[in-house]
Structure 1
Amino acid sequence: MFKKDPSRSRRPAVSHAEAVTHVEEGGVAIYWRPGCPFCGMLERGLGPDAERAAWTNIWEDRDALAFVESLNGGNATVPTVVTRTEHFVAASPAQVAAAKGLIAEAGKVL
C-alpha cells in the first residue's frame, strides 16, 4: 500500500485516500509539495520519524489539494499535518516539534 518516494527516501508516498485511512486508524498524515522549504524543514526536523507518517503530495493528487484547501481557508498551505483530532500547518520549529510529538504518540505507524 505505502511506497517510499524515491526523491525523498524518508517520505512514504501515499494517495489522499490512503492518508485518510491511515489517519482514521490513528496515524499522522502530512500533506506537502515539492520545493516547499517548510516541508523540507519538517522532514529534517522529524528525522527518522518522518517515515512513520503518511506523506501526500498535493501537486500529484487533486483530492489531497482540495482537502488541504478545505482545512486552510481555501489556501493550499503546506506542510499540513493531520490527525483524527487536529490539523495545523507546521511552519515553525514549535510546530515541527508538535508534529514530532504527535507521530511519537500515534497508534498507527507505517
Structure 2
Amino acid sequence: MRRAWTGPVLLLIAGAGAATGPIVQGRPGTGAVLSVVFVLLAGLTSPLVFPRSVGALEARRRSAADGRPVVFWRPGCTYCLRLRLRLGRRARRLHWVDIWRDEAGAEAVREVNDGNETVPTLLVAGRAYTNPDPAWVREQVSSTR
C-alpha cells in the first residue's frame, strides 16, 4: 500500500518546495499555480484515479462470469494512466488489479511478460495483451455488455 502512494506524496512535497520560492519572493500567484500543477500531477498518479482494485483471483472469477477484461496496472504508470483516461467511464466496466497491492496479480503479469512487470496488461478471454491500444480496449469493453 505504501509503495502506491510514494510517487504522489513525493510530488506533493516537491510542489510545496517549488511553490515556496516564488511565494517568499513576493509572487504568490506563481506559487499558487505551481501548487495546483503539482497537486494535479499527484492526483493523476495516485490510485484514486483508477476504479477500485480487486485481487487477481477475484478479477479472474468475475471475468469468467461476465466476460469483461481484466486490467493489471500499477500507480505511477503513464501507460496505465493513458489507458484509464482514454477509456473514460467505460473503465468502470473492467476489472482492475493493482499489481503492487496483489502478489498474485504481479505473478500473473510476470508469467506473460517474460518475468517483467510490464503494465498495463489486459486479460481478455484468457489471452494476455501487453500495453494494448486504448481504442482496441474500448472495442473489447463495448462488445462485453
Same fold (TM over 0.5): yes
1:1-110 matched pairs, under 5 angstroms: 7-8=48-49, 10-25=50-65, 26-90=67-131, 95-107=133-145
More strand, by proportion: 1
Q: Looking at both structures, which has the greater relative contact order when contacts are Cα pairs under 8 Å and sequence separation is at least 6?
A: 1
Q: How many residues align?
A: 99
Gaps in structure 1 of 5+ consecutive residues: 1-5
Shift of 1:84: 1.3
- Kindly report the root-mean-square deviation, in angstroms, between the aligned alpha carbons of the 2 structures: 1.7
What secondary structure, in the 3-state scheme, does the structure 2 residue paired with 1:50 have?
Answer: helix
TM-score in terms of structure 1 length: 0.82
In the aligned structure 2, how far is the partner of 1:85 from the partner of 1:13?
19
Gaps in structure 2 of 5+ consecutive residues: 1-46
Percentage identity across aligned positions?
30
In the aligned structure 1, how far is the partner of 2:69 from the partner of 2:83?
13
Which runs of structure 1 show a deviation greater than 2 angstroms over 4 or more consecutive aligned residues? none
In the aligned structure 2, how far is the partner of 1:62 from the partner of 1:101?
29
Residue of structure 1 in register with 2:38 after alignment: none
